[in-house]
């Protein structure tokens, strides 16, 4: 059966495009609080689980050894826009381990933020691995290896100790098997594993509450989410949804986008974890979905609801700045 239509895109008063998908809200005991569509289907979480993938950085003691604070930890969880602040911070993280961008194996691309890319070109520059949106995560991997005395070379490979630690964290936090049969390669070359959507929601409920974790992991998980909520610019960048939403919600909500229409989130005060997958992989649909779902969960009376509803209903303007349409959650779905 087809997943429900979650999001509509209107031009004038006519629906021009539609996005189907599934969503799941779980508590840390594994109860489904709210869901829509198929939540058993396996989904590649992509970058939406970087906060979980950052656990070894903290649990190994590397973050403390290198003096990483909220900004560095947030960047390790980021899909950043490659703005100067992002690239500089990744460089500084590597420098703490006596390394530089030549240690990164994520590949290079022009900054995702258009103005940052154009500025780099104007200065006669060209992109390095530091501008890759995953450079913070990869700097975290490299620093963890360095701290543990492990040769970081080849750290993106599934059989390298770095990815073994990441996979262990993902398996125990989500409770889902991460076998070779569900393994794909991510944009930044590390393995990514397709797991049930509900397992991702459960994982973020656990990250937010520490339920089922040992003391060390519970502290590390909370510290990671707190760092992202404290430094939302490092997690994404100018005009990006992760940054806007976490800025607007002032430490009450954690969110992280992933490629191909994935969004993960947590509401620590409620002990809830959230996972969304838009079938067609479209970011505009996952962004509207996460904001609408968060508004629903907090309820109309919550002071944050108007802001979340505004974020869920963006206006679309054309090249002349004329309003031509809007994106909206489908009524009654969330």
Closer residue to its own copies (CB): 218 or 316: 316
For residues 305-320, one letter each, b for 16 or more C-beta atoms within 10 angstroms of the residue's C-beta and e for the rest, the string is bebbbebbebeeeeee
Total residues at the site for its own copies (CB under 8 A)? 50
CB 329 within 8 A of CB 290: no
Q: Look at residues 43, 14, 19 and name the one whose alpha carbon lies nearest to residue 203.
A: 43
Which residues in the 26-45 window bind its own copies by CB under 8 A? 42, 44
d(CA 218, CA 222): 6
**Interacting span for its own copies (CB under 8 A) from 197-205, 267-275, 276-284, 290-298:** 276-284
Can you tell me which of 96, 222, 324, 326 binds its own copies, judged by CB under 8 A?
Answer: 324
Least Å from the CB of residue 139 to its own copies = 16
Residue 18 as a binder of its own copies (CB under 8 A): the answer is: yes
Q: Which is nearer to its own copies, 190 or 227 (CB)?
A: 190
Residue 177 as a binder of its own copies (CB under 8 A): the answer is no
Residue 184 sits in the site that holds its own copies (CB under 8 A): yes
Of the candidates 143, 146, 113, the residue with the CA atom closest to the CA atom of residue 131: 113
The CB-of-90 to its own copies minimum distance in angstroms stands at 15
Min CB(281)–its own copies separation in Å = 4
Nearer to its own copies by Cβ, of 288 and 307: the residue is 288
With binding defined as CB under 8 A, does residue 186 bind its own copies?
Answer: yes
The reply to whether 279 sits near its own copies by the rule CB under 8 A is yes
Tell me which of 109, 252, 270, 326 binds its own copies, using CB under 8 A: 109
List the one residue from 121, 151, 153, 250 that touches its own copies (CB under 8 A): 121
At its nearest, how many Å lie between its own copies and the CB of residue 106? 7
Which residue in 32, 95, 118, 315 binds its own copies (CB under 8 A)? 118
Interface with its own copies in residues 230-269 (CB under 8 A): 260-261
Give whichever of 208 and 290 is closer to its own copies, judged by the CB atom.
290
- 179 or 250: CB nearest its own copies: 179
Residues 43-72 close enough to bind its own copies by CB under 8 A: 44
- The neighbouring-strand residues paired with 263 are 257, 276
Residues contributing to the site for its own copies (CB under 8 A): 2, 9, 11-12, 14, 16-20, 42, 44, 105-110, 114, 117-119, 121-122, 124, 132, 182-189, 192, 194, 260-261, 279-282, 285, 318-322, 324-325
């Amino acid at each position: 059966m087809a997943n429900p239509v979650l999001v509509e895109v209107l031009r004038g008063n006519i629906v021009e495009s539609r996005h189907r998908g599934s969503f799941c809200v779980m508590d840390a005991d594994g109860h489904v609080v709210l869901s829509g569509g198929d939540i058993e289907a396996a989904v590649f979480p992509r970058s939406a689980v970087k906060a979980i993938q950052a656990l070894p950085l903290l649990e190994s003691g590397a973050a403390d050894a290198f003096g990483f604070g909220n900004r560095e930890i947030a960047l390790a969880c980021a899909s950043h826009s490659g703005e100067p602040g992002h690239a500089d911070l990744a460089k500084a993280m590597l420098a703490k381990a006596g390394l530089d961008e030549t240690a990164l194996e994520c590949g290079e691309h022009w900054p995702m933020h258009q103005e940052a890319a154009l500025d780099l070109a104007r200065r006669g520059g060209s992109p390095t691995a530091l501008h890759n949106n995953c450079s913070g995560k990869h700097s975290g991997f490299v620093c963890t290896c360095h701290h543990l005395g492990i040769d970081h070379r080849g750290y993106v490979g599934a059989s390298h100790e770095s990815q073994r630690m990441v996979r262990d964290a993902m398996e125990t936090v989500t409770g889902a098997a991460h076998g070779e049969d569900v393994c794909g390669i991510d944009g930044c070359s590390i393995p990514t594993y397709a797991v049930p959507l509900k397992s991702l929601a459960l994982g973020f409920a656990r990250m937010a509450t520490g339920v089922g974790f040992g003391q060390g992991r519970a502290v590390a998980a909370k510290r990671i989410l707190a760092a992202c909520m404290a430094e939302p610019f490092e997690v994404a960048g100018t005009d990006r949804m992760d940054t806007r939403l976490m800025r607007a919600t002032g430490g009450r909500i954690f969110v992280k986008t992933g490629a191909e229409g994935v969004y993960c989130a947590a509401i620590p005060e409620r002990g809830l974890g959230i996972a969304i997958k838009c079938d067609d992989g479209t970011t505009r649909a996952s962004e509207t979905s996460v904001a609408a779902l968060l508004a629903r969960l907090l309820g109309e009376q919550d002071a944050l609801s108007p802001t979340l509803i505004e974020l869920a209903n963006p206006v679309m303007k054309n090249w002349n700045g004329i309003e031509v349409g809007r994106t909206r959650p489908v009524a009654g779905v969330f």
